[in-house]
A and B are shown apart, each in its own frame.
Chain A
Amino acid sequence: MPPTTTQDIIFLALAFVTLASGIAVVLLRNLVHAGLMLGLSFFGVAGLYLLLHAEFLAVAQVLIYVGAITVLILFAIMLTRQVVGADTAPVSTQRLVGFATALAVFLVLVRFMYRREWPGIFDNTEVLNAPTVLGRQLLTTYLIPFEVASILLLVALVVAIVLAKEETVVSLTPKLNTIYEETDSPAKEEEK
């Protein structure tokens, strides 16, 4: 067993923060608090990325997850106004089933983790200047996934605007009714 280093202590602290705030996200009754805990959990994962020498992803994680997604979720919580109360609490009858399922999945994952013999484990710490390397590879080796991701973002942008626009879905049925009434009324008049 190698001696405990500073990195190990940092890893343990980050893992604890990530998991504890993740559990808080699941269990807290107040949704706003859960959303803030979600941001803390994302921060913990960003720290773990740094430990794994994924500097660009760590920064992207902070920018996108902590900066954008958490704020988006908090805005949605405030727009729907179901912050506190019995409505936001987890269902007590499903708690046992949920816990059993989660535990079963965890056990299966751990079993695979320790039974599988990984091919050629090494500590790949020699990746110097990883953002440069990643940038080069995103435009050469991984060009198609990169472009697909950008198209996906564009489509998501358009769809989100169309969905959240005022009076698209809300008034769909009344509009259809008025159209039918308008087309029906001349025919009825002719019958008379």
Chain B
Amino acid sequence: MSHQMTPYLLVGAALFCVGIFGVLTRRNAIGVLMCIELMLNAANLNLIAFNRFLGPAGNTLTDGAVPTNYYGPLLGGHAFGIIVITVAAAEAAIGLAIIITVYKNAKTINVDEINWMKW
């Protein structure tokens, strides 16, 4: 089971949908942010699973012969995962800064009470 791709994709999909449910139902802005982090994690899990099971040039090592300039199979999924983690960190920092500023102004962070931009 841990040597197949679909179990990992299933876990990722389930985690993503849990995040969607949370984003749609949480009233607290910080709760919404937490659920977005869950969704980013689910996407990241998918990227890593794809890289392991579908990665380019992954099976060049099976014959045992290793070229001299061989850097190993391309780890594009891992690089993408690092980008996603970076984006998540930036998003958390900026999102929480915005939430704290909104709280200073409105004394609430309920997303259904913050509707200043709605006309």
B114 at the interface (CB under 8 A from A): no
A137 touches B25 (CB 8 A): no
* A91–B25 touching, CB < 8 Å: yes
A15-23, A174-182, A184-192: which lies at the B interface?
A15-23
Residues of B within 8 A of A12 (CB): 1
List which A47-93 residues lie within 8 A (CB) of chain B: 48-49, 51-54, 56-57, 60-61, 64-65, 68-69, 72-73, 75-77, 79-80, 82, 87-91
Give chain A residues whose Cβ lies under 8 Å from the Cβ of B5: 118, 121
For residue A128, which residues in chain B have a CB less than 8 angstroms away from its CB?
72
Q: Which A residues, 6 to 56, have Cβ-Cβ distances below 8 Å to chain B?
A: 7-8, 10-12, 15, 18-19, 22-23, 25-26, 31, 34-35, 38, 41-42, 45, 48-49, 51-54, 56
Contact A45 B45 (CB under 8 A): yes
Provide the residues of chain A in CB contact with B75, threshold 8 Å. Answer: 127, 130, 133-134, 137
Q: Which residues of A contact B34 (CB under 8 A)?
A: 25, 34-35, 38, 73
Of the candidates A110, A142, A160, which one forms a contact with B10 in the assembled complex, judged by CB atoms under 8 Å apart? A110
Q: Majority SS of interface residues in chain B?
A: helix
B104 on interface, CB distance cutoff 8 Å: yes
The verdict on A102 contacting B24 (CB below 8 Å), with A26-B35, A54-B81, A149-B83 known, is yes
Q: How far is the CB of A64 from chain B (nearest CB, A)?
A: 6
Q: Check if B27 sits within 8 Å of A138, measured CB to CB.
A: no
- Contact B112 A124, beta carbon cutoff 8 Å: no
Set of chain A residues within 8 Å of B80, measured between Cβ atoms: 145
Q: Which residue of A lies closest to B89 (CB)?
A: A64
Q: A94-B25, A101-B24, A164-B101 are in contact. Are A126 and B61 (CB under 8 A)?
A: yes
In the complex, the 4 A-B pairs of residues with the closest C-beta atoms, listed nearest first: A156-B90, A98-B24, A133-B72, A26-B22
Please name 12 pairs of A and B residues whose Cβ atoms are closer than 8 Å in the assembled complex, sorted by A.
Answer: A15-B7, A26-B35, A38-B34, A45-B15, A64-B89, A79-B103, A80-B100, A106-B13, A109-B16, A110-B13, A142-B79, A152-B90
Q: Hey, which bits of chain A sit against chain B, CB under 8 A? A: 2, 4-5, 7-8, 10-12, 15, 18-19, 22-23, 25-26, 31, 34-35, 38, 41-42, 45, 48-49, 51-54, 56-57, 60-61, 64-65, 68-69, 72-73, 75-77, 79-80, 82, 87-91, 94-95, 97-99, 101-103, 105-106, 109-110, 113-114, 118-130, 132-134, 136-138, 140-142, 145-146, 148-149, 152-153, 155-157, 159-160, 163-164, 168-170
- B residues with a Cβ closer than 8 A to A are 1-3, 5-11, 13-22, 24-28, 30-31, 33-35, 37-38, 41, 44-45, 48-49, 51-55, 58-59, 61-62, 71-76, 78-83, 85-94, 96-101, 103-105, 108-110, 112
